[in-house]
Amino acid sequence: MIETMPPAAAAPSSQAVTSLRGRHLLGIADLTREEILLILDTAEAMKEVGERPIKKVPALRGRTVVNLFFEPSTRTRTSFEIAEKRLSADTLNIAVATSSVTKGETLADTARNLEAMSPDVIVLRHSMSGACHLLARICRSRIINAGDGMHEHPTQALLDAFTIREHKGRLEGLKVAIVGDLAHSRVLRSNIHLLNKLGANVWVAAPSTLMPSGIAQFGVTPTTRVDEAVRDADVVMLLRIQLERMQGNFFPSLREYFTLFGMTPARLKLARPDAIIMHPGPMNRGVEIDSEVADGSSSVILEQVANGVAVRMAVLYLLAGGEA
């Protein structure tokens, strides 16, 4: 019998991947384009689970996930916890006040103590850049970075990309303007890696005091004139002015920042008519964003929050759903 070649449609794409290479999710920098797409595709299936009458599947039954948060967080911690519960994992929340942490030692000790209770996954937020990498070196558990200092916040970038893809159908070729506190933002770093890997055109705008030096090397177009970044943008992403990370004066006043960089309805008119407005939260209304824009029809800020659960379910499943 002659075996004919299967048609092209049936042949698996050579680029398609079905699992992540790493044990941990420490940053977007470590992921390939294909791995990012796998997470986003899996998140689409996970989003449907959240729309069912019974929003729970048994995929991570018997797995233990520790949410270890050394920085205050409502949105991210809640989002991870809901994601874990929807996958039937057992969850444990540990919130540690920032003040009790002295560099390195305490984190390592805390982690070793937790390890003794053999969790499968540790979701870590920490004010120190690289804290997750440290844990990944000393722990057997899988580590998910829920924000480390000014380094990365990978699940935020993934949920941003998921939200953009839902609205625009793709990321390739889109003009994305990121405006705000670039110097202190881990969301920015994760987003730059991700948007570049998926072929978006990234512009970043901030006062020169909040513009990291050499940022152009990351493949973005920096400008101190916000209008230039926003003009004809498909996506406008605003970043919070992080007063808690600022030591010294970066600009004369919050009001002046709002006047020169705040996203107002007038400024938004420069963007494409179908542009979407994003913000990772928490928002400072009247600082980086006008209330009218935040609550306007272009805003997808609350969709970002909803999509966060689906994206975190996808990450948890892909890291912890297989063999122990």
Partner 1 sequence: MPVVVDTQRMGRSLARMAHEIVERNRGVDELAFVGIRTRGVPLAQRLARAIRDITQVEVPVGSLDITLYRDDLMRHTVGPQPLVRLTDIPFSIDDRKILLVDDVLFTGRTIRAALDALIDFGRPRAIQLVVMVDRGHRELPIKADYVGKNLPTALTQSVRVRLDEIDGRDEVVLEETNHD
Residues that bind partner 1 (CB under 8 A): 1, 3, 6-7, 9-10, 18-19, 42, 44-46, 48-49, 52-54, 56-59, 61-63, 87, 314, 317-318, 321-324
The Cα 180–Cα 212 span in angstroms is: 12
- Using the minimum distance from each CB to partner 1, give the nearer residue, 48 or 274: 48
- Using the minimum distance from each CB to partner 1, give the nearer residue, 1 or 97: 1
- Cα–Cα distance list, 22 to 29, 30, 136 (Å): 12, 8, 11
CB 112 within 8 Å of CB 290: no
- Tell me the closest approach of the beta carbon of residue 119 to partner 1, in angstroms: 15
The Cα 230–Cα 239 span in angstroms is: 14
- Using the minimum distance from each CB to partner 1, give the nearer residue, 19 or 118: 19
- Tell me the closest approach of the beta carbon of residue 10 to partner 1, in angstroms: 5
Q: Facing residues of 203 across strands?
A: 177, 221
- Tell me the closest approach of the beta carbon of residue 9 to partner 1, in angstroms: 7
- Using the minimum distance from each CB to partner 1, give the nearer residue, 21 or 170: 21
- Using the minimum distance from each CB to partner 1, give the nearer residue, 17 or 216: 17
Token pair for residue 276? 């979407």
- Tell me the closest approach of the beta carbon of residue 324 to partner 1, in angstroms: 7
- Percent helix, percent strand, percent coil in the chain, to nearest 5: 40, 15, 45
The Cα 273–Cα 282 span in angstroms is: 25
- Tell me the closest approach of the beta carbon of residue 198 to partner 1, in angstroms: 20
